[in-house]
Chains A and B, each alone.
Chain A
């Protein structure tokens, strides 16, 4: 029998058997392609919804001793702040904030007098800053009170015959040059990470089952008495794990494509239009990682003592390649030619470039594909070599 035939036959059997393993199927076909995009969609929708309502929703504010600062109140009302008058002292104010879930302004005694005298008039602003929904209201009240103070300061200058522009030595005009795509990437920064992770998860159970599982069941020894070189057994098993990873990868990227179309990113002025071409591009750019990941998992699972041990180690292995991604995001690394020689990281850059619609130079892609494939070949060769050892039988 030709070596190629043996590899193909091992592959076919492992793949078919894996399709009957419910746990493996759920991981490869449901968790990655369906659950992950759904989770992302939920998080994004909440973010979008939250961001939108916070800026348009009227701010509710409790005010104690409103009568001491009538002008301030009418100023706040002008800008859409709804106030309720409350009767309380300073200690009671804390409890009220807790109960009403809204910030509270306590107007001090002598507020009007101090204001008229040109001395700082004091207000106390009570709020629970650990409550996210109060934070937005708090920021707006803060800005409005600041603006009110600014108005008064300008009026004072005018009253003393000075130019109110003296108070504005610098005029800073921020100009946002981000495109809708690049803004989306901020939100979708984790997407590349999730795609690579679910791709690895797709082959996880097959890799373990075909190696550690085979030994634990006692089917490895009879298998080794067949007239097939041991390397070919490993190649077939690695190929099968890779096939599951490819299926998982393609479905996951498609799942995210569908998700992105349905989440209203456009309402935030963002757009990620992946489309069929984008899906294909991401799958192709990640594809070289498949033999690398499959070989890595097969290699590690082959040399553990039991199925359980294999599960522990391979689950860790799944996360190790994502380490460069975390470092890169912490250090804020940008893509560069040398960094494209780091497998997993380079694929993350490639995914981001598709999402941003900012193509990277062809040399970048070449380095990424080249280095990844060479490392994969080395690992597969190593797995084949190690399969020759007697210790394999455990």
Chain B
């Protein structure tokens, strides 16, 4: 379970995240939806302890990211956006390295890597050096690496970016399976179809603030529109709605 309360992050004079609060429960897929630059990545980065918030607090399974970051990290599997691999290591070695830094025993790590390679359909390239991987192969490897320690909470920043249809389907299948096993899944996206297809709960973020929070149906009802897209455009506010209408989308 992930709990964020009034998270604030400033870069110089710009306030990127301005008091974001939400709750992502276990056994649910929660989507952070918002236009580019809304503060989704920054929010996630504060949750996975790479950035320190300037205000607010967050807990992973009740563990504070501020006071016990190492313990919080143990409870998270993280796929940052554009996550890179070690080019001279094979996919399997990339996974095993992260397992070793989670303190896993070698035999346990090997078994788990093998299991993930099967689940994510990685057999073909598992023992090739990561240097020449396609985007899909890279994301799968990075995802396996993030899941190697059986994290209760899984955080993914724009995980479907650059993936083809088949890879996206594999990823969705995996995330649903993890949800059904009771994991807490939190992912960010700026693609509405993505969120509509996958999420149980949507947190709409605009200008560093939570614009709306609820199930896709609730959001449609809240905005009084038929499609989630229109609901989104109404919810993110006037300025973004204007820029969206200039792009040919009527609110």
* Contacts from A to B (Cβ < 8 Å): 1, 5-6, 9-10, 13, 16-18, 20-21, 217-219, 221-229, 390, 393
Query: Does B50 reach chain A (CB closer than 8 Å)?
Result: yes
A226 touches B101 (CB 8 A): yes
A1, B104: Cα distance in complex, Å:
9
A221 touches B83 (CB 8 A): yes
Q: Which residues of A contact B89 (CB under 8 A)?
A: 13, 16-17
State whether A20 and B84 are in contact (beta carbons under 8 Å apart), knowing that A222-B146, A224-B50 are contacts in the complex: no
Q: Which residues of B contact A218 (CB under 8 A)?
A: 80, 82-84
Q: Which residues of A contact B83 (CB under 8 A)?
A: 218-219, 221-222
B70 touches A222 (CB 8 A): no
* Contacts from B to A (Cβ < 8 Å): 48-52, 70-71, 73-74, 76, 78-80, 82-89, 97-98, 100-103, 129, 142, 145-146
A225 touches B80 (CB 8 A): yes
State whether A9 and B100 are in contact (beta carbons under 8 Å apart), knowing that A17-B88, A221-B83, A225-B73 are contacts in the complex: yes
Q: Which residues of A contact B71 (CB under 8 A)?
A: 227
Q: Which residue of A lies closest to B80 (CB)?
A: A221
With both chains docked as a complex, state the minimum distance between the C-beta of B43 and any C-beta of chain A, in angstroms.
15
Name which of B51, B82, B89, B101 has the most chain A CB atoms within 10 A of its CB: B101
A6, B101: Cα distance in complex, Å:
6
Q: Which residue of A lies closest to B131 (CB)?
A: A20
A390, B42: Cα distance in complex, Å:
12
Q: Which residues of A contact B129 (CB under 8 A)?
A: 20
For this complex, 28 residue pairs linking A to B, each with C-beta atoms less than 8 Å apart, are A9-B97, A10-B101, A13-B97, A16-B89, A17-B88, A18-B88, A21-B88, A218-B83, A218-B84, A219-B83, A219-B84, A219-B85, A222-B78, A222-B145, A224-B50, A225-B48, A225-B49, A225-B73, A226-B73, A226-B102, A227-B73, A227-B74, A227-B103, A228-B101, A229-B70, A390-B50, A390-B52, A393-B50
B102 touches A227 (CB 8 A): yes
A227 touches B80 (CB 8 A): no
A225 touches B78 (CB 8 A): yes
Q: Which residues of A contact B50 (CB under 8 A)?
A: 221, 224-225, 390, 393
Name which of A218, A221, A225 has the most chain B CB atoms within 10 A of its CB: A225
Q: Which residue of B lies closest to A221 (CB)?
A: B80
Q: Which residues of B contact A16 (CB under 8 A)?
A: 89
Q: Which residues of B contact A20 (CB under 8 A)?
A: 88, 129
Name which of B48, B71, B80, B102 has the most chain A CB atoms within 10 A of its CB: B80
A222 touches B103 (CB 8 A): no
With both chains docked as a complex, state the minimum distance between the C-beta of B92 and any C-beta of chain A, in angstroms.
13
Q: Which residue of A lies closest to B129 (CB)?
A: A20
CB-contact partner of B86 in A17, A221, A224, A393, under 8 A: A17
Q: Which residues of A contact B84 (CB under 8 A)?
A: 217-219, 222
A20, B129: Cα distance in complex, Å:
10
A248, B97: Cα distance in complex, Å:
26
CB-contact partner of B80 in A17, A21, A222, under 8 A: A222
Q: Which residue of B lies closest to A13 (CB)?
A: B97
CB-contact partner of B51 in A10, A223, A390, under 8 A: A390
A224, B76: Cα distance in complex, Å:
12
CB-contact partner of B103 in A1, A13, A223, A225, under 8 A: A1
With both chains docked as a complex, state the minimum distance between the C-beta of A21 and any C-beta of chain B, in angstroms.
6
Q: Which residues of A contact B73 (CB under 8 A)?
A: 225-227
Give 8 nearest A-B pairs by CB, closest first. A218-B84, A1-B103, A217-B84, A20-B88, A219-B84, A225-B78, A221-B80, A227-B73
* Besides A221-B80, A390-B51, 17 other A-B contacts (C-beta < 8 A): A1-B102, A10-B101, A13-B86, A13-B100, A20-B129, A217-B86, A219-B84, A221-B50, A223-B101, A225-B49, A225-B73, A226-B101, A227-B70, A227-B71, A227-B101, A390-B50, A393-B50
With both chains docked as a complex, state the minimum distance between the C-beta of A219 and any C-beta of chain B, in angstroms.
4
A5, B145: Cα distance in complex, Å:
19
Q: Which residues of B contact A225 (CB under 8 A)?
A: 48-50, 73, 76, 78, 80
Q: Which residues of A contact B48 (CB under 8 A)?
A: 225
Name which of A224, A227, A228, A393 has the most chain B CB atoms within 10 A of its CB: A227
Q: Which residue of A lies closest to B96 (CB)?
A: A13
A217 touches B78 (CB 8 A): no
A30, B144: Cα distance in complex, Å:
37
With both chains docked as a complex, state the minimum distance between the C-beta of A113 and any C-beta of chain B, in angstroms.
86
Q: Which residue of A lies closest to B82 (CB)?
A: A218
Q: Which residue of A lies closest to B79 (CB)?
A: A222
